[in-house]
Amino acid sequence: MKAVFFINQNQINTMKFPFKIIALALIGGLFITSCGPSTDDVKKDMRGEGALSSDAAERVYVKPGEYDEYYAFLSGGFSGQLAVYGLPSGRLFKVIPVFSVDPEKAYGFNEETKPMLETTHGFIPWDDSHHPELSQTDGETDGRWIFINGNNTPRIARVDLKTFETVEIIEIPNSAGNHSSPFTTENTEYVVAGTRFAVPFQQKDMAIKDYKGNFKGALSYIKVDSVTGHMNIEFQVLMPGFNYDLSHSGKGKSHGWSFFTTYNTEEASTLLEVNASQNDKDYIAAINWKKAEEYIKAGKFKTMPGKHAHNLYSDETHSATSEIIDEVKVLDPAECPGLVYFMPTPKSPHGVDVDPTGEYIVGNGKLSADLTVHSFTKMLKAIEDKAYDGDAYGIPILKYEAVHAGTVKQPGLGPLHTEFDDKGNAYTTFFISSEVVKWKVGTWEVIDRKPTYYSVGHLMIPGGDSKKPTGKYLVAMNKITKDRYLSTGPEVTQSAQLYDISGEKMELLLDFPTIGEPHYAQGIHKDKVHPKTTKIYKLDDNHHPFAAKSDRDTKVVREGNIVHVYMTMIRSHFAPDNIEGIKVGDEVYFHITNLEQDYDVPHGFSVLGAQNSELLVMPGQTETLVWYPKYEGVIPFYCTDFCSALHQEMQGYVRVSARKSNTELKWSLGED
Amino acid sequence: MKHLIKSLFISLPILLSSCGGDDSAKKEIKDPIKKSEKKVEAVAETSGPNYGIGPIAKGDVTIGDAIDTAMAEQGKEVYDKMCTACHKPEKKFIGPAPKGVLSRRTPEWVMNMILNPEQMVKEDATARALLIEFNGAPMANQNLTKEQARQVLEYFRTL
């Protein structure tokens, strides 16, 4: 992305220039005749609203109290999170904490979720999240889970769409810059995770200049349990030391295959901006994962070191556990014929996108002016005919002409990503020329183009990477917003744009701000998710080891200098709300259970001097905040989420005595 | 809804702040706030017995002559788990004590109050009066089943 940044800046400037001239001409016109467009209209023209009819507003307006038609899940980029919006309104519903701590929800701060962020490098409070991917059944989004990658310290997370909480994170070993991830197969048999950086395999201390031939790229296949959703790394394919940029799985006729784009097939370790752009063509790697399964079954794998953390959250204990797994199964393509083929694709392809039929594989060569499309049928034929153009590290390179289906000629500059609609059209984003281009699959003719503001990266059509795309909305996610919003200083908002794609021509309907930097996104009709969400956690199903499920269970227990407070909360009091006998230097665990069994009655908790965060406890849930009292005194705690008319009364005190004092440990609520 | 409540109650601390006295130095502290005794009885029922509003209609509940002890035991279990945070069996707490409730209310009203408290405090005059009497502490909907509410009712008969 950074490599083309400079070009992009110039492009924006040159692009704006004609607009300026037009604008000046129009303003000039104003002086001559008073009947010309108002300056506001001119501004609107410059901002791309042009002839946008006023009914655009109606088409994105969701009346108060009514629901949006689609959920949109936009990655939070360098915020590490996943944001949930409604379409067409662009309203933000929730930021789901995934890879970064969130003091609002105590994610990574309470004792229950700390294990979620454990890795082989220890606790990591941040990551860079790029690509959300909904689970699929028969190639169609099913609304069960959404997966997302952590780019920096390679991880894949699974979010449960009943609770909209992160319930599982698995670390990816032998990987670095987990970018071509997590793309699902047709029935969520696997999500894949490909390494962006090639690294020594196994990692070791060696000279960087010896990269070529010595570094490797691991592509991981993460098996997803069809019932529980639990993930495990089933196997890794040990690829040459290229950079693996993006991926998508085959579907329909190409089910059983996955496709990864590569760049830096030059294997440069420095000044990649120049050195990784030398080859006329890089490759799309086609991996036959069904074949891989056969090789695994036949024992053709090596068990190799691959230390990684596996973190799992349970809705029954309301707690996460973290375990370290030591090894992975590895397949070497040189020893597994038929496992991997390379399809030459011009220049540094970024996104690789498979059309709804599974026949066409689009390579978005980001430094090319054309868009290359391969045919799956031709690919199979080329393999059968052994139409090879040599090999790379023992992996056959298929002849370009033998797999090439067609080229979309000169559609724009810097193609990055393609999604599909339900009428046989494809939509590709062009980063350098800041536009979305609609073209016909099969005839490769350009149908329409619309500018984006500015420098679009990914795009998303609900179901647009599945077998059943929708044809109503397209969301473009931009890298630069510049003058689109009120300025907030040097750092301005990130932004998405909504287009109506139901007609022949696309129409820009709406700009809306997003969190972090949105990369990829997923969209799904509300009926697949909304009716199935969890409203409360049942107290009966709460198996948290420190839960106080009624006032009978409330107590304070001292074990040396560790104190466990078993506390309950309900509108509008804590039980107990007076605690004495805590001492300076204690380690106090407030285990707090929300006894409410009604929808939307969370309670919050914090205590003066807490060095972590608040707790935000959902009905029926138990959460734990650790607190280290440092001074003698009477310390208040209170409910942080306005819960009832008596919310302001929902408070209590902890008496903290000197370390050597004899203050008796006691607790109470009311006068009893 | 939440915002409305918030804005209403922002004004409360202002009213209260004038009531505090700096008596911390005195050994015996008299409560500086004059207490007025609140009336315990709810609104008079003018038009016959009140069955409340909710899933339980008049006549839906049959009360046996003798207490069904098995059912009452199940009711106690539910009560202990779901209700004791706010209701002590024989003593006014956050909410009223259930002891003797059937001499004051119909069985239908009691079950509707358990099963449908949101609508009850808005639309039932007695429930609304009780909400005000109990300082605006809302009756929480603990999502009991009808069967559980009936069991709790039976338990109340043993108090």
ipTM comes to: 0.73
**Interhelix angle for A5-32 vs A39-46, to 10°?**
160
Q: Cα-Cα-Cα-Cα dihedral of A152, A156, A161, A162, to 10°?
A: -120
Locate B35 and state its tokens: 């207490």
CB–CB contact A642 B2 (8 Å): yes
The residue among A432, A476, A436 whose CA lies nearest residue A455 is: A432
Whether A365 contacts A349, CB under 8 Å: yes
Kindly state the tokens that stand for A489.
Answer: 């200083």
* Residue carrying structure tokens 């042009």: A50
Residue A341 and residue A220: Cα distance in Å, rounded? 17
Cα–Cα distance, B82 to A570 (Å, whole number): 10
Q: Report yes or no: A668 at the B interface, CB cutoff 8 Å.
A: no
Report domain extents, chain B: 89-159
Return phi, psi of residue B52, to 5°.
Answer: 75, -175
Q: Name every chain A residue with its beta carbon within 8 A of the beta carbon of B138.
A: 571, 644-645
| Alpha-carbon gap, residue A481 to A492, rounded angstroms | 7
Going by their DSSP bridges, the two strands A494-500 and A118-119 should be labelled as unpaired
Enter the tokens of residue A323. 């375990």
Report CB contact under 8 Å: B140, A568: no
- Looking at CA atoms only, how far is residue A532 from chain B in angstroms? 18
Quick check: is A621 in a domain? Answer: yes
Give the bridge partners for A522, in sequence order: A73
Biggest alpha carbon–alpha carbon distance for chain A: 91
Contact B137 A571 (CB under 8 A): yes
Cβ within 8 Å, pair B85-A570: yes
Kindly report the CATH number assigned to the domain that includes residue A554: 2.60.40.420
Chain B interface residues facing chain A, Cβ-Cβ under 8 Å?
2, 5-6, 8-9, 12-13, 80-82, 84-86, 93-94, 135-138, 140-143
Tokens of A32: 């001559």
Cα B7 versus chain centre, distance: 25
Give the pairing of strands A562-570 and A587-594: parallel
Cβ proximity of B156 and B101 under 8 Å: yes
Peptide bond into A71 cis (omega under 30): no
d(CA A321, nearest CA chain B) in Å? 28
Sequence-separated (6 or more) residues with CB below 8 Å from residue A664 = A580, A581
- Classify residue A129 by its DSSP letter: B
The answer to whether A575 faces chain B, any CB pair under 8 Å, is yes
CB–CB contact B140 A570 (8 Å): yes
Q: What are phi and psi of A575, to 5 degrees?
A: -130, 120
Q: How far is residue A513 from each of residues A59, A458, A497, A518, A630, measured CA to CA in Å?
A: 18, 15, 9, 10, 42
**Cα–Cα distance, A651 to A602 (Å, whole number):** 15
Give the residue from A187, A156, A154 showing the smallest Cα distance to A173: A154
Q: Which pLDDT band, with edges at 50, 70 and 90, does B28 fall under?
A: low
Q: Around Cβ A455, how many Cβ atoms within 10 Å?
A: 25
Q: What are phi and psi of A419, to 5 degrees?
A: -125, 170
Question: A99-113, A438-452, B22-36, B37-51: lowest mean pLDDT where?
Answer: B22-36
Whether A519 maps to a domain, the answer reads: no
Q: By the 8 A CB rule, do A544 and A86 touch?
A: no
Q: Name the 3-class secondary structure at A526.
A: helix
Q: Do B9 and A645 lie within an 8 Å CB cutoff?
A: yes
Is there a contact between A550 and B82 if contact means CB atoms under 8 Å apart?
yes
User: Which residue of chain A is at minimal alpha-carbon distance from B84?
Assistant: A551
Between B6 and A578, whose confidence is greater? A578
Question: Which among B8, B81, B138 is the nearest to A571, CB-wise?
Answer: B138
Q: How far is the C-alpha of A23 from the C-alpha of B23, rounded, in Å?
A: 73
| pLDDT band (50, 70, 90) for residue B152 | very high
Separation of alpha carbons A433 and A455, rounded Å = 7
Residue pair A333/A395 in contact (Cβ under 8 Å)? The answer is yes
CB contact under 8 A, B140 and A601: yes
Among the partner-chain residues A596, A597, A646, the one whose CB lies closest to the CB of B137 is A646
Q: What is the pLDDT of residues A356-393, one digit of tens each?
A: 999 999 999 998 889 999 999 999 999 999 999 999 99
Whether residue A534 lies within 8 A of chain B, CB to CB, comes out as: no
| Tokens encoding A516 | 């972090």
Partners of A435 in beta bridges: A430, A451
Q: Which of A375, A416, A188 is nearest to A286 (CA)?
A: A375
In 3D space, the residue among A518, A497, A506, A387 whose CA is nearest the CA of residue A446 turns out to be A506
Which residue numbers in chain A have pLDDT < 50?
A: 1-46, 50-51
Cβ <8 Å between B81 and A549: yes
pLDDT of residue A347: 87
The count of structural domains within chain A is 2
Taking only residues 638 to 667 of chain A, the set having a beta carbon closer than 8 angstroms to any beta carbon of chain B reads 642, 644-648
3-state secondary structure A377-400: HHHHHHHHCCCEEEEECCEEEECH
pLDDT per residue as tens digits for the range B87-137: 999 999 999 999 999 999 999 999 999 999 999 999 999 999 999 999 888
Q: What is the CATH architecture of B89-159?
A: Orthogonal Bundle (1.10)
Distance, in Å, from the CA atom of A397 to the CA atom of A376, rounded to the nearest integer, reads 15
Which of B6, B93, B135 is the closest to A670 by Cβ? Answer: B93
Chain A residues inside the 8 Å CB shell of B92? none
Spatial distance between the Cα atoms of A369 and A353, rounded to a whole number of angstroms? 17
Q: Which residues contact A207 (CB under 8 A, 6 or more apart)?
A: none
Q: Which residue has the tokens 């924006």?
A: A12
pTM, two decimals, is: 0.88
**A7 vs A2: CA distance, rounded Å:** 10
Calpha distance A278→A280 (Å, rounded): 6
Question: Measured between CA atoms, how close is A657 to chain B, in angstroms?
Answer: 20
How many Å apart are CA A517 and CA A523, to the nearest integer? 17
Rg (CA), chain B: 19
Q: How far is A664 from chain B (nearest CA, A)?
A: 23
Domain that holds residue A590: 539-668
User: Which of B2, B12, B85 is the closest to A551 by Cβ?
Assistant: B85
Contact A216, A241 (CB under 8 A): yes
Q: Which residues are within 8 A (CB) of A535 and not within 5 positions of it... i.e. 6 or more apart?
A: A599
For residue B142, count other CB atoms closer than 10 A to its CB: 25
